[in-house]
Amino acid sequence: MAQTPQELRSALADVDRMTGPEALRLLTAGTFAAQRTLTAGESTPAAEWTAATIDLTRALADRGLLDPWDAATRTVNLAAMALRHLHDQQRDSVRLTALLSDAARLLPPDPAQVATRAADWRQLPRTEILELRRLKNLLTALTGLGRHTPEANQLLTAWRNVLPLLP
């Protein structure tokens, strides 16, 4: 397991050879290290761990080792935590524009159509309920990020009325 952010970054070169369980163990270790250093107030290592973990999460999703919805939700949650704890000059490590772009690509194009489906979600097949739940998880994470950035708030504008309807 990676003991430093640099080791986590060097593991990115081996992502193509990783199995799913190996990748998830590495991702979990990076996430815990980022969270630990953020909450301990260790801003420089926290920024490095956060950036490395976000890069690893995106790489795993790009290679099909992590579901894109899970990856987006994980990175947005970690970014929101980082923005709460990092100094202004270290917030660039979060790469907010790329994260919001990833999240926006996953959102369905028509919030009104989703609201119609969600209004009677208990009658939907399980697979559709799970789709709506993944959407809710991502929107909830974006709400946390929206407290720190106007870009996330702008992305959420069309979804604010839909979120309470989701399972």
- pLDDT tens-digit profile of 51-93? 999 999 999 999 999 999 999 999 999 999 998 888 876 777 6
Q: What is the pLDDT of residue 93?
A: 67
Per-10-residue mean pLDDT for the chain, 167 residues long?
84 84 89 92 87 92 93 94 82 79 92 95 96 96 85 87 95
Q: What is the pLDDT of residue 98?
A: 85
List the alpha helices (DSSP H) in the chain: 5-11, 20-39, 43-62, 68-85, 96-106, 111-119, 126-146, 150-156
Burial class (CB in 10 A: 0-12, 13-18, 19+), 103: buried
Residues whose CB is less than 8 angstroms from the CB of residue 28 and which lie 6 or more positions away in sequence, other chains included:
none
Q: What is the pLDDT of residue 117?
A: 94
Predicted structure pTM score: 0.88
